A and B are shown apart, each in its own frame.
Chain A
Amino acid sequence: MNRRSIRVRLAAWQALVLMATFAIAGGGVWLAMRDSIHESVDEDLRARLSLLERELTKAMDAAGAEHVERRIDLVNLQATGPGTRFRISDGTRWIYQSPGAEKWGDEPIASSSLQRRGRARTLVVGGRPVRVLAATASVADAIWVIQIGLPIGEFYEALAGVAWTVVLASPLVLLVASVGGYWMSKRTLEPVARITRTARAISAEKLAARLPLRGADDELDRLSETLNEMFARLDAAFRRVTQFTADASHELRTPVAIIRTTAEVTRRRPRTEAEYTDALDRILAESERTSRLIDDLLMLARSDAEGEEFALEPMDLAQSLREACEEGCVLADAAGLSCEVNLKPACPALGDPQALRRLFLILLDNAAKYTAPGGTLRVRMDVGRTDAIIEVQDTGMGIGPEDLPHVFERFYRVGKDRSRARGGVGLGLSIAQRITAGHGGDISVHSEPGAGSTFRVRLPIVAPASSTD
């Protein structure tokens, strides 16, 4: 029902508007007809009045003004035509009234109250409409007011006939308007219903489906386009979440599987102490890896949920980087790499020292992991007016152009075979990117396969740092 309500309301409104139009048009026609009847009757009355005026003048010329009552009979009353009644007033009393005219009201009309063309009114006398025109007439030397009237019952009957036609036709018009309105709104809403059906069919199972465009570039096509764009965004988000969940579950299940199977296989029979120690060591290592992974996942999940989870405080960016480099260079030494570090003495900034240290360590650790012994690891810091640029450069294997756009994606590993042996699950750079973004900076990478990679971090700083140079 709810789905139909727009259609019904639309039909009702259309019917209402159509009925109103019909009523206004009918009323207008009726009024116009009445006015035109009045006008032609008035014209007729005026013609009869001037005829009467001429006849009266003729009679008065012969008899003199003081004998009007007597002379009036001399007037050719038939000259005014059949059905005509009239009465004559001298301003104070009625001089003459033809039979029936006395019912038009008693007050003689003063000539001063009349305009030149006279005044026409419709009176109802004995239940019958009479059109009465009052006008001045100069007969002999006197100014008289003559009222002349004609019954117009026939005309009004015709008018009533029109009114009845309009009233009787209105149910039919209402019916046609309703049915037509319903049909039209159905026709109008049909594409909407189609869009609704299609959109409902596009569920989570098949988010890749799209609404068809009719190519009309109208409101409905734009609605479909808007919905399609929304579906595309949903689809992408859904895929990302599915992929992330699948990757996360794989990465979490693998160490747990090792822990469980280690324990189970070890328990199957008595072991030597060395074997137990070995199994426990393996379990310990996998537990540590699992908890690191959980920490990473939680951090990413939290920053997804809240957007901002870093406690920014005034700190020294150079100090953070220096600490990270000390640790990083130990790793580099162990990997047989030489370390070149070029830092600034101090660089005040707003940041989370632990998070930033982690960010730098991720970059240094990556550089050390993917560079062959004998290579070089370079860390450089540049401080501008508003930003600090930190570059971590290695002479390692580099990243291929097909991998480069994805290195910051979660669980993305360059070369599927090498990462787990090196301890990575492909979250480090995602976290690095999160930390940078959380500090209002950005991170980018430039790489040539075989020549090495350079990660470049831009972070905002507090004061213009030219004084520290």
Chain B
Amino acid sequence: MWVLVIEDEPSMGELLRRGLEEENHTVTLARDGLEGLQVAETCNVDAIVLDVMVPELNGIEVARRLRSAGRQTPILMLTARDAAADIVSGLDAGADDYLTKPFSFRVLLARLRALSRRAARPAVRSLHVANLVLDPATHEVTRGRSVLDLTITEFRLLEFLMRRAGRACSRAAIIDGVWGLEQDVKGNTVDAFIRLLRAKVDGAHRPSLIQTVRGYGYILRDEP
């Protein structure tokens, strides 16, 4: 999934990026609260890892503004202070969960999965569209009874579309969410990866789930 990490500590930010990317997540890193808020408001990210003590706009304020703008993106708050007051005000401001630094990276991954699961209603462990199933924890993708063998980018692309199943995704949004904001990727690269993904997902199966929205992008849905 697409994770926005708001962390001012450069080493910690890079660590989170690398660790999350190695778990097949797309990571966008923001260095301060304002930048983070802008990304969270303009991009349809799947989860936010938010450090409380970030400059410009502290994490609690970021969470509050996002929630008051109606954004329901799951927020996992990181805090180096374990003062109860900080945790309470963070959760009250709209964070869904918190971790105290130093934290276990495995726990961070599990909590992110839990948050994204809760964000899907009803809560499911894996993503389902027709007989296409994607398990974010095991990275297993199946269509009917056959297991699909996807590359990392294909997996991210499919997860991105499945998380937004039934909604049209523009090429630009797909680029941001799959390759990250920093990458310079063209629209026809998306088309190329969609072709590869289609061959694996829809090649031998009916109905075709990945559909083209002419002149805009793609949509994944269980109807023609």
Query: Residues of A contacting B80 with CB < 8 Å?
Result: 249-251, 253-254, 257
B192 within 8 A of A: no
CB A242 to nearest CB in B, in angstroms, measures 8
Query: Residues of B contacting A257 with CB < 8 Å?
Result: 12, 80, 101-103
Query: Residues of A contacting B19 with CB < 8 Å?
Result: 261, 264-265, 268
In the complex, the answer to whether B104 meets A258 with C-beta atoms within 8 Å is no
In the complex, the answer to whether B16 meets A261 with C-beta atoms within 8 Å is yes
Which of A245-265 touch B at CB < 8 Å?
246, 249-251, 253-254, 256-262, 264-265
A257–B19 alpha-carbon span in the complex (Å): 14
Query: Residues of A contacting B82 with CB < 8 Å?
Result: 249
Interface residue count on the A side (C-beta < 8 Å)? 23
CB B91 to nearest CB in A, in angstroms, measures 18
A417 within 8 A of B: yes
CB A425 to nearest CB in B, in angstroms, measures 12
Query: Residues of B contacting A259 with CB < 8 Å?
Result: 102
A416 within 8 A of B: yes
A216 within 8 A of B: no
Q: Which of these, A246, A253, A268, A282, contacts B101 with CB under 8 Å?
A: A253
In the complex, the answer to whether A261 meets B81 with C-beta atoms within 8 Å is no
Query: Residues of B contacting A268 with CB < 8 Å?
Result: 19, 22, 105
Asked if A265 meets B15 with Cβ closer than 8 Å, knowing A254-B101, A417-B8, A417-B32, the reply is yes
CB B184 to nearest CB in A, in angstroms, measures 25
The residue of chain A having its C-beta at the shortest distance from the C-beta of B12 within the complex is A258
In the complex, the answer to whether A264 meets B105 with C-beta atoms within 8 Å is yes
A-contact bits for B12-53, CB 8 A (1 contact / 0 none): 100110110010000000001000000000000000000001
Query: Residues of A contacting B55 with CB < 8 Å?
Result: 416-417
Query: Residues of B contacting A253 with CB < 8 Å?
Result: 80-81, 100-102
CB A197 to nearest CB in B, in angstroms, measures 27
CB A240 to nearest CB in B, in angstroms, measures 15
A249–B81 alpha-carbon span in the complex (Å): 6
Q: Which of these, B16, B32, B56, B102, contacts A260 with CB under 8 Å?
A: B102
Which of B71-109 touch A at CB < 8 Å?
80-83, 100-106
Query: Residues of A contacting B106 with CB < 8 Å?
Result: 264
- Judged by DSSP, the binding face of B is loop
A268–B22 alpha-carbon span in the complex (Å): 9
Query: Residues of A contacting B18 with CB < 8 Å?
Result: 265
CB B79 to nearest CB in A, in angstroms, measures 8
Query: Residues of B contacting A260 with CB < 8 Å?
Result: 102-105
Which of A329-360 touch B at CB < 8 Å?
none
A421 within 8 A of B: yes
B-contact bits for A80-101, CB 8 A (1 contact / 0 none): 0000000000000000000000
A262–B12 alpha-carbon span in the complex (Å): 8
Q: Which of these, B10, B56, B83, B105, contacts A261 with CB under 8 Å?
A: B105
In the complex, the answer to whether A258 meets B15 with C-beta atoms within 8 Å is yes
Query: Residues of A contacting B15 with CB < 8 Å?
Result: 258, 261-262, 265
B-contact bits for A171-200, CB 8 A (1 contact / 0 none): 000000000000000000000000000000
A119 within 8 A of B: no
B11 within 8 A of A: yes
Asked if A282 meets B11 with Cβ closer than 8 Å, knowing A250-B81, A254-B101, the reply is yes
CB B138 to nearest CB in A, in angstroms, measures 15
In the complex, the answer to whether B32 meets A258 with C-beta atoms within 8 Å is no
CB B110 to nearest CB in A, in angstroms, measures 13
B140 within 8 A of A: no
Query: Residues of A contacting B56 with CB < 8 Å?
Result: 417
A300–B70 alpha-carbon span in the complex (Å): 47
CB B15 to nearest CB in A, in angstroms, measures 5
In the complex, the answer to whether B22 meets A265 with C-beta atoms within 8 Å is yes
B202 within 8 A of A: no
B-contact bits for A414-441, CB 8 A (1 contact / 0 none): 0011001100000000000000000000
A268–B103 alpha-carbon span in the complex (Å): 15
The interface of chain A, by Cβ under 8 A from chain B, is 246, 249-251, 253-254, 256-262, 264-265, 268-269, 282, 286, 416-417, 420-421
* Additional A-B contact list (14), CB under 8 Å, known A250-B53, A250-B81: A246-B81, A249-B81, A253-B80, A254-B101, A256-B102, A257-B101, A260-B103, A261-B12, A261-B15, A262-B11, A265-B105, A269-B22, A416-B55, A417-B32
Contact sample, A vs B, 11 pairs, CB 8 Å cutoff: A246-B81, A250-B53, A257-B101, A258-B12, A258-B15, A260-B102, A261-B15, A261-B19, A261-B102, A282-B11, A420-B8
Identify the 9 closest CB pairs spanning chains A and B, nearest first.
Answer: A257-B101, A257-B102, A265-B19, A253-B80, A417-B55, A264-B105, A250-B80, A260-B102, A253-B101
